[in-house]
Structure 1
Amino acid sequence: MGKLRQREEERLAPGHTGRPRPLRNLLLLLWTLLNCGLGVNAQGPGEWTPWGSWSRCSSSCGRGLSVRRRQCVRFPREELCWGDTHEYRLCQLPECPPGAVPFRDLQCALYNGHPVLGTQKTYQWVPFYGAPNQCDLNCLAEGHDFYHSFGRVLDGTPCRPGTQGLCVAGRCLSAGCDGLLGSDAREDRCGRCGGANDSCLFVQRVFRDAGAFAGYWNVTLIPEGARHIRAAHRSRNHLALMGGDGHYVFNGNWAVSPPGTYEAAGTRVVYTRVTGSEETLRAAGPTSEDLLLQVLLQEPNPGVEFEFWLPRERYGPFQAEAQGQGWSLRQPQPQEVDPQSPESPAAPTVIPPRTLGPTPDPCPPCPDTRGRAHRLLHYCGSDFVFRARVLGRVRQAQETRYEVRVQLIYKNRSPLRALEYVWAPSRCPCPPLALHRDYLLAARRLISPDGTQDWLLLPHAGYARPWSPAEDSRVRLAARHCPL
């Protein structure tokens, strides 16, 4: 039976002397018959009133919280409403002035000079952070070796100095990207709260130009708006970063800068160098202007890996500007790129896409991997099962890399991007994947010991089937035997 709105229920409450309209009388009569005369309980929960307005910030400076409330309106025998009566939001005010007394210190100081512990002795109290529950008001008696808990701290008290969590109803909660405490909402790689990485594109390439002379070589333009920027290489060469004004951020003018954190284009760039051979550059972004990544060559270039996420609307201009400058940016597969000959440093050799077929290097036949047992083994033992289209392939000395577009996910232990690389541990992978075809793949996650590589690995003789409705039914059946 339908439920009355809140204001209608209030008008029909006991003690009301006005005369309800005939429709309300009829609704009340039907409800009474169903719940009293027929002995049937009301179904479902009650209804929430609209949220009230947000309260003032709990703090006068720095971080605090605001709260809003709602009420559950329900008839007798009706279930309670599903959800919370209170919602808490982070509020950020101007930083507290130097010397301001922290909120927890103020709460402990309220008990200064007052007898506690059943005696007439008084103490001076300061916060104590070694107790198990950080949202209790645990205060240490100055000059003594004991502390006392005075109950919970007030809502909005920081859990610990220097942390982001705030205490709410005795629990330490952090805010999601929506500003709500206790929320699990997180920004996607594009910077959208609760997004699905669909408003930006992932650029991931390797700069392999050998370089005909020692000096600075352009690697890539990092456009305005780029996020989650990373570049790395293993050699005696050095990464260099130039700002939009033409001045170097680090490693410019033939001088090697110390590792550390540098401010550039509105973000912090973390530059690290391991003694001997490895350099990395990382920045969260978004960048507020274009940056130019270069490499200072002192020896042949073994390859500079770089990646970043870019808003979709900026990808086209980025490609056009990079190509207009003559930089040898590697295009996403299906193009296959061979290392460049030293005689032509500015013009990479590009081999047109080709399909799998007879090759000058014969590959042995693959083992038979058909059957239900093989499907269950790989489905249950994999980290990812998904349908994907093969966009490109690069064969290297010890492995084959496929670029795929993920179309449907059956199982994933961590998020998958729309475009992914899948690695097979051989130049003659089994089973082979043909370009521009859809497959159902079972892959494992492989992280290198030093944490620099995070791969989707297609094991040798693994599970890779051309997708079909029948294959879809088989894999869904396999999911029943080995749930997540």
Structure 2
Amino acid sequence: MDLHRHLRSPALSILVLATCFSASQARHHKEMANNTEFVSVNYVVLDEQPDLGPWSDWSLPSSCSRSCGGGVAFQSRNCRHGSACQGPAKRYFSCNTMHCPPGSKDFRSEQCSKFDTQDFGGNLYEWIPYTKGANDCELNCMPRGKRFNGFTTKMVDGTRCNDETFDVCVEGRCMPVGCDFFLGSSLREDKCRDCGGDNSGCITVTEIISFETDLSDAEPGYNDLLLIPAGATNIFIRELKDANNYLAIRNGNNSFYLNGNFNINYPEDFHFAGTVFHYERQPNSFLLGSAVIRALGPTNESLYIALLYHEDRKGEGIEYEYSFSKEEQSDDSDHYFWVTHNFSECSSPCGGGSQNRTLGCAKKSDNSAVSLRLCNPVKRPATTQRCNEETCDPEWFVSLWSQFRRVYCLQKISNRMTVIEDDVCVKKHGEKPIATHQPCNEER
């Protein structure tokens, strides 16, 4: 819903103010306006001192800083004449949170492009954002194809602080935005990027690939390390120490997106597989370096992480992590397949037991065994199953004698011994054994 458009109505403005801005803390509200659900609205303040007046009433909302993609509007108030007030004079809230139309220009790029018509040293340039500055909310613009900054100014409110979060700039400060796209919201994504989720529907895979144990047979050239399935989120891959090797990424059709065909890419952001991959490589010398690859996802195709291998660096390795939904449906472009072995014998003849089996992974082209990391985890077969679920016969349990002994009827149900009514054992085995006493020490 276009919040700014609806706030132009005085009557609706009163409704929004009465329901959304009644306290100093960010709050969630839902109201109905013209039979359309009014989405939750929060606000934030930059001055967090205790609120001491007397203040005037809050003004009507300002115009929205953006027409789409999540802008910022504010309300202001004044300290009444002759008084000393404490607390915020402005409060800020999100507006126009709907997605921009497909093909819309990036908002940061749009701000830099306004300098395209300005003379700079006697020349005109096409200005693009430089995003490696110290302040995320400072707009730094550089000419395309050049390596110097030309314009620096404050970011327009509502500009994303970075590509990794929903946070936006407000008056030159990066302010928290929830995954519901509202300033001050406490809602966050879980590892599967489910807004407000608790990771209960996620599977997270994390491991360290060791050169010494896992890559002992690596050959010079490209070596597949692992498969990241379609739908993967929060992808993180890191070389643990500097080496003369390079991480590479390809898809199931053997098309490389990063460092393919023995051509090494410069560190930058790459758009592929439906998300943005941030590739960083910190060089330690002319050849040695260590790389970090990050992507929020979700990916829209399966990807293979490979290593362009040049040298053995014993005692070092590659760390990785990613998550995917338990209900994720993967594509069928895999070059490797799961190998299942026979289940073991059932652990119990009745009452519910279990069987186990081991898994392998093989290459489709020649059926050779490879690491389990290369098989699609979304398609991983089960390694355990239930067996012999039929109920066991009841039986008497009889303890050893002391002055008395314990006797009760037991039956194995769902792989657990359960005490049941004595009548069941009586029907199956006859009279209940004596439990109270027996003759003892009768010698004279």
Query: What is the TM-score when the length of structure 1 is the normalising length?
Result: 0.36
Query: What is the TM-score when the length of structure 2 is the normalising length?
Result: 0.39
